[in-house]
Amino acid sequence: MEVVVCKDYDEVSAEAAAMMADLVRTKPDAVLGFATGSSPVGLYKALIRLHKEEALDFSKVTTFNLDEYSDLGSDHPQSYRTFMNDNLFDHVNVPRENTHVPSGTTDDWPAQCAAYEQQIADAGGIDLQVLGIGSDGHIAFNEPGSSLGSRTRLVYLTRQTIADNSRFFEKEEDVPRTAISMGVGSILEARQCLVVVNGANKAPALAAAVEGPVTCMITASALQLHPDTILFCDEAAAAQLTMREYYDWIQQQKQADKTT
């Protein structure tokens, strides 16, 4: 896992957006995996700016989101479909029919989850998957204890996740207790993973994911097994990394290589 420590959240977002833009320019019909939550919002704002100011073209792109709350319709203000529309899709030229967010309403969860996996396969797999890391080290809604080979499925949210996400609802009781989520195994099949992490509250989870053992209790640690993952974090999130000097040295060498 390549770790890039940026000075602040704005730089994290700009660097991540530049990486995604390079892919879209190189492969206009790229399949992009998106995440929700506060961490990628700056990335999405940067992509919107690149679209409006530098004509970054999303017209042939296909997208798949990681997860969705159960029992929330797509038009619910706290649904992840609404989040993506508000924070990205409504502001770039990606065709709406090319955007995929799991449905949170179904009478047959296994069939719904299998169909989502099939849609990804039919699209040729995900070229680049955006990820954040939860405060307990989870990716998507793969809570501690999730199988590292798990597939898209209905998951039960932990008390910590419910408490963390309650800031988006009027009260904690309104947060759904279950969600549909890509599994860890599904995520690891993406050809490249792009992780954005910011804030001091994420420092313990980030250190555990990058430098700790690979464990189902920190599902983000499974990214250590992925052949092509890059993680952008700010100074606050990087505070507990013991190998910080080494990560910085690698970036200095890469920058030097570019200038020679």
Catalytic residues: 67, 136, 138, 143
> DSSP letters of the chain?
-EEEEESSHHHHHHHHHHHHHHHHHH-TT-EEEE--SSTTHHHHHHHHHHHHHH----TT-EEEESEEETT--TTSTTSHHHHHHHHTGGGS---GGGEE---S--S-HHHHHHHHHHHHHHTT--SEEEE---TTS-BTTB-TT--TT--SEEEEPPHHHHHHHGGGSSSGGGS-SEEEE--HHHHHTSSEEEEEE-SGGGHHHHHHHHHS--BTTBGGGGGGG-SSEEEEEETTTTTT-TTHHHHHHHHHHHHHHHH-
